[in-house]
Chains A and B, each alone.
Chain A
Amino acid sequence: MDNVFVYCEIEGTLVAEVSQELLTKGRKLADELGVELHAVAAGTGIRGQVESQILPYGVDKLFVFDGKGLFPYTSAPHTDILVNLFREEKPQICLMGATVIGRDLGPRVSSSLTSGLTADCTQLEIGPYDDVKTGKHYDNLLYQIRPAFGGNIVATIVNPDHRPQMATVRSGVMQKALYGGKAREEVVYPDVNAYVSAESYVVEVLDHHVEAAKHNLKGAAIVVAGGYGMGSREGFDMLFDLAKVLHAEVGASRAAVDAGFCDADRQIGQTGITVHPKVYLACGISGQIQHIAGMQDSGIIISVNSDPDAPINKIADYVIVGTVEEVVPKLIKYYKQNTK
């Protein structure tokens, strides 16, 4: 008991990247607490397919539930698995992706176990807590840190008395890394029927369709992002030319997406994708707090903006004061000239 658990999300036989990111974070938390990192995977035909995608992130014990009706995901069978497993294992922490699946499953499990759940955490830390009302002191609680009120404040949430402490984290917020240390790497294959009641297979999936992502914004070394200042969809398109030259991916602010300049799957920010590129080139982006939350950890930030007082300029390493129409073609021109 008292271990750190990560629920691994699976599409077919492919483990979601967000789950691997959480395994890396979970490993760090487990090391800090002096406990083990355990992982749970549930699907159909996954035995022999998912172990190698999960164990290298420092997993001490992996529970693989392989059975008919566990893919495509539906709420009740996966809830049964986690609730019954957690009743046996009594973990202190459970992490899952703030994905459609994680946000369907997490609350159902937390309600079954009457434990607290914090959505969309951007940082997870271990620390003490003093309850001013009861005077009780707690050591080693999970600090679940998340933006609130549309990104205008950051709240630190704790679950003092209920276990597991549950948190969801969006894809790309944490970074995955293979574990350098030595983990136990035990794998068990429990009997699904002992965990899932027959009545739980109640939702029938008639049609399940997933498209591969059109871009690799999350893993890009260079991101060229445009905002409302790009002026139009046609104006925005010159960023694709710049991105091609720089071998970069194109992102957008919510204002640009809302204005129809760019597709929503490229939105960077608190309600979109979080990126960590070496270089972030913000073109015509004023820098709303929600946008900055998704790109502030970039290596070098370059802002191109006609307004010298745009909020994003405060966190930029280079501020180019000028219109995007003038600056972007020059960036293309001088990059080409100097890399021949």
Chain B
Amino acid sequence: MSLRIIVLAKQVPDTRNVGKDAMTAEGTVNRAALPAIFNPDDLNALEQALRIKEQNPGSTVGVLTMGPPRAGEIIRQGLYRGADTGWLLTDRLFAGADTLATSYALATAIRKIGHVDIVLGGRQAIDGDTAQVGPQVAQKLGLNQVTYAEEILDIQNGVATIRRHIDGGAETVRVPLPVLVTVNGSAAPCRPQNAKLVMKYKYATCPMERPADDPRADLYASRPYLTLNQWSVADVDGDPQQCGLAGSPTKVKSVMNISFQAKESKTLTSSDADIEGVIKELLDEKIIG
């Protein structure tokens, strides 16, 4: 059975490798100092999508992402690993979106794409760690949902069997398609880029990524697959009031840099006298016993 699969992927700042210059003196995030990467859990989702494609001949995998023009890189990364196509949602009207407005934009784009059997995404993105967008997209499209998936075991006759992580254990569930599945970071890692696909797609770009007088204009004219889909709010028939900041019920009241209250501490050496001293002190004050 051929299946139409969409992978939701996000370009994120690499918050796991935050260096000293990641925060400005004013306590705001210095995005320029953080490299932009393919959200890790989304790579696990892409791998599950590619496996389903291999097991179900005729299936297609498309990568859907939202972000500034440079997020076209996420689609290329998907193509390098075996995705068939991709869509970049980019528009200033999408900016400042919380999870609800993000899910509105993604759901609207998926409706525009048309019939879909499986939507896959990472469990959460490392810049927000909310895990909210997947279930919200599922709700908006009326799709069944399975979160925290570790492996899609099989798909037969329009029913998927999925093993998922739960608190303190594991579960196996059966769910009819269409379904939205969020994939946990503990699922199989994504395959590496394929050299031939890198050669094929390395110049694939969205129109907004290209310079004004592009030296590769002829190449793009002769090879349409090198022009990636780029959609604005209008292109997906979106309601601007439900997008970006305007469509976000949550507002950021304030942001603070974390500073921990420094304490006056007693500094000791590793000498026997010092160690015995601290143990006696804690015992005398009944802090330990």
A contact residues vs B (CB 8 Å cutoff): 72, 74-76, 79, 99-101, 103-108, 110-112, 114-120, 129, 131, 143-144, 147-162, 202-213, 222, 246, 271, 278-279, 289, 292-293, 296, 299-302, 308, 313-323, 326-327, 330-331, 334-335, 337-339
- Which residues of B248-289 have CB atoms within 8 Å of chain A's CB atoms? 248-258, 260-263, 265-270, 272, 274-276, 278-280, 282-283, 287-289
Q: Does A117 lie within 8 Å of B270, measured CB to CB? A: no
The residue in chain B whose Cβ has the minimal distance to the Cβ of A109 is B139
Q: Pick from B148, B282, B283: contact of A100, CB below 8 A.
A: B148
Q: Does B283 lie within 8 Å of A330, measured CB to CB? A: no
- Residues of chain A within 8 A (CB-CB) of B148 are 100, 104
Q: What is the predominant secondary structure among interface residues of chain B facing chain A?
A: mixed
A-B contacts, 20 listed (Cβ < 8 Å): A76-B144, A100-B147, A100-B148, A100-B166, A103-B147, A111-B103, A152-B258, A153-B27, A154-B257, A155-B256, A208-B171, A211-B168, A289-B258, A299-B287, A314-B263, A319-B265, A319-B266, A320-B269, A335-B279, A339-B283
Query: Smallest Cβ distance from B135 to chain A, in angstroms?
Result: 4
Q: Does A108 lie within 8 Å of B249, measured CB to CB? A: no
A-B contact count (CB 8 A): 246
Q: Pick from B126, B135, B287, B289: contact of A111, CB below 8 A.
A: B135
**Contacts A75-B145, A320-B268, A321-B267 given; does A119 touch B131 at CB 8 Å:** yes
Q: Does B283 lie within 8 Å of A116, measured CB to CB? A: no
- Residues of chain B within 8 A (CB-CB) of A278 are 287-288
**Residue interface mask B43-57, A partner, CB < 8 A = 1:** 000000000000000
Q: Does B253 lie within 8 Å of A143, measured CB to CB? A: yes
The residue in chain A whose Cβ has the minimal distance to the Cβ of B279 is A334
Q: A204 to B265, alpha carbons, bound, how many Å?
A: 56
- Residues of chain A within 8 A (CB-CB) of B147 are 75, 100, 103-104
In the complex, whether B112 has a CB less than 8 A from a CB of chain A is: no
Query: Smallest Cβ distance from B282 to chain A, in angstroms?
Result: 7
In the complex, whether B165 has a CB less than 8 A from a CB of chain A is: yes
Q: Does B167 lie within 8 Å of A203, measured CB to CB? A: no
The residue in chain B whose Cβ has the minimal distance to the Cβ of A158 is B253
- Which residues of B15-47 have CB atoms within 8 Å of chain A's CB atoms? 15-16, 18, 22-23, 27-29
Q: Pick from B28, B174, B283: contact of A338, CB below 8 A.
A: B283
In the complex, whether B240 has a CB less than 8 A from a CB of chain A is: no
Q: A119 to B134, alpha carbons, bound, how many Å?
A: 14
- Residues of chain B within 8 A (CB-CB) of A76 are 144
Q: A149 to B138, alpha carbons, bound, how many Å?
A: 25
- Residues of chain B within 8 A (CB-CB) of A101 are 166-167
In the complex, whether B127 has a CB less than 8 A from a CB of chain A is: yes
The residue in chain A whose Cβ has the minimal distance to the Cβ of B251 is A158
The residue in chain B whose Cβ has the minimal distance to the Cβ of A221 is B288
Q: Does B287 lie within 8 Å of A153, measured CB to CB? A: no
The residue in chain B whose Cβ has the minimal distance to the Cβ of A287 is B260
The residue in chain B whose Cβ has the minimal distance to the Cβ of A130 is B253
Q: Does B288 lie within 8 Å of A279, measured CB to CB? A: yes
In the complex, whether B98 has a CB less than 8 A from a CB of chain A is: yes
Q: Does B136 lie within 8 Å of A323, measured CB to CB? A: no
In the complex, whether B2 has a CB less than 8 A from a CB of chain A is: no
Query: Smallest Cβ distance from B182 to chain A, in angstroms?
Result: 9
Q: A314 to B268, alpha carbons, bound, how many Å?
A: 14
Q: Does A271 lie within 8 Å of B129, measured CB to CB? A: yes
- Residues of chain A within 8 A (CB-CB) of B278 are 302, 318, 320
**Contacts A100-B166, A316-B265, A338-B283 given; does A120 touch B175 at CB 8 Å:** no
